């Protein structure tokens, strides 16, 4: 049986809000290690500057920087990209990599409008990379903000969970039940942890994510909520593609899904871009579903692909109150993810100082 210290977030009325609820800021981390980027660091940083500059026109952005070189590089590139200087600030913190969605905190809100954060163990997707500095970042963010921190001795990554604002959470067994995450927890224990830690009411399990995804199948590359009743689901139209069958199974699961109130969801198929590979043949998990929803805008990764514009056309009607913008991510994907993977939203609200 899962044994948790109390009070947990749900005990105090906290829950993880949907991404489209208003943001006080977006947090992101500036890329720094060329070896981790397969020699593409310069191009990755250029794409990052474009993303942050666009985002700064809509909301505040906090850029984590690992050292003086990263801070100087970020400031120079963001100035060139015409970022709004009033909406960008820098937070010096030791980092291993730039995937802040996964190693950073997950922010929560309660009924009184207060904001707190959760701090999970980050082990770099089951011990695949070094994570000794990244796992300490949520505590650093809590200190920076003076915010209540709920610490859990369990592995969890933000990209592994997708929620709407009605307490429905979607995840994958291939990731959260991987023996390299929390081997001591079974599916029931993991559901109990998600309910206690994130305040969700319903947990929906998909089997797996994309081929080549070093995260073991994060949900944020395959299925996303656009509103409480609408989902997009990545699909492949090529039966010879390794992703074809598992993505079709995900689609069928979602079409049969019902809310806690027995209502169906609208499920919109979203095509995958053409397969991307590293020079050594490794498949990259490129996906248009890895978009980021911010105040007034949705940032969608594009890949110099014939399907880029189709993906944007499919997504625009689903966000009628936001601009849906394509942001180049062809260099970024060499690290294994796109714009949702490198961002984390801080909801608006009064900070709970604990």
Annotated catalytic residues are: 341
**HSE-CB of 16 using CA atoms within 13 angstroms:** 25
| Beta-strand runs (E) in the chain | 23-29, 61-65, 88-92, 106-109, 114-121, 149-155, 162-163, 168-172, 202-206, 223-227, 230-235, 266-271, 276-277, 283-284, 292-294, 297-302, 323-328, 343-347, 350-351
Please choose, from the candidates 213, 69, 66, 73, the residue with its C-alpha nearest in 3D space to the C-alpha of residue 134: 66
Query: Whole-angstrom Cα distance, residue 71 to residue 64?
Result: 8
In this structure, the chain runs to a length of 354
Distant-in-sequence, close-in-space partners of 261: CB < 8 Å, separation ≥ 6: none
Quickly count: other Cβ atoms within 10 Å of residue 165's Cβ.
15
Question: Which of 23, 112, 39 is CA-nearest to residue 299?
Answer: 23
Beta bridge partners of 162: 170
Dist. CA 116–CA 149, nearest whole Å: 6
Spatial neighbors of 339 by CB under 8 A, at least 6 apart, are 51, 290, 291, 292, 299, 300, 301, 327, 329, 332
């Amino acid at each position: 049986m899962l044994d948790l210290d109390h009070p947990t977030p749900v005990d105090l009325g906290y829950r993880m809000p949907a991404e489209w609820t208003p943001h006080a800021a977006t947090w992101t981390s500036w890329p720094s290690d060329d070896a981790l980027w397969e020699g593409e660091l310069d191009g990755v940083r250029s794409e990052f500057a474009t993303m942050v500059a666009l985002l700064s026109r809509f909301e505040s952005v906090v850029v984590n920087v690992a050292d003086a070189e990263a801070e100087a590089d970020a400031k120079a590139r963001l100035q060139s990209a015409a970022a709004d200087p009033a909406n960008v600030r820098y937070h010096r913190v030791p980092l291993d990599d730039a995937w802040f969605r996964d190693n950073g905190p997950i922010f929560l809100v309660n009924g009184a409008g207060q904001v707190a954060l959760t701090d999970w163990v980050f082990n770099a997707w089951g011990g695949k990379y070094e994570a000794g500095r990244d796992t300490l970042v949520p505590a650093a963010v809590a200190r920076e903000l003076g915010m209540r921190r709920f610490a859990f001795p369990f592995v969890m990554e933000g990209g592994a969970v997708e929620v709407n604002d009605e307490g429905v959470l979607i995840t994958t067994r291939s990731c959260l039940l991987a023996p390299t995450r929390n081997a001591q927890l079974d599916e029931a224990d993991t559901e109990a942890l998600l309910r206690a830690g994130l305040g969700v009411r319903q947990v929906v399990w998909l089997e797996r994510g994309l081929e080549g995804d070093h995260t073991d199948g994060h949900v944020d590359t395959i299925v996303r909520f656009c509103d409480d009743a609408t989902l997009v689901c990545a699909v492949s139209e090529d039966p010879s593609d390794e992703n074809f069958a598992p993505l079709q199974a995900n689609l069928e699961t979602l079409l049969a899904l019902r809310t806690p109130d027995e209502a169906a969801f609208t499920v919109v198929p979203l095509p995958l871009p053409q397969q991307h590979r590293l020079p050594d043949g490794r498949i990259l998990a490129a996906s248009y579903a890895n978009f980021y929803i911010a105040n007034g805008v949705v940032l969608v990764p594009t890949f110099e692909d014939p399907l880029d514009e189709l993906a944007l056309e499919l997504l625009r009607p689903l966000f009628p109150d936001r601009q849906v913008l394509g942001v180049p991510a062809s260099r970024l994907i060499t690290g294994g993810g796109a714009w949702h993977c490198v961002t984390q939203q801080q909801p608006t609200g009064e900070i709970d100082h604990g």
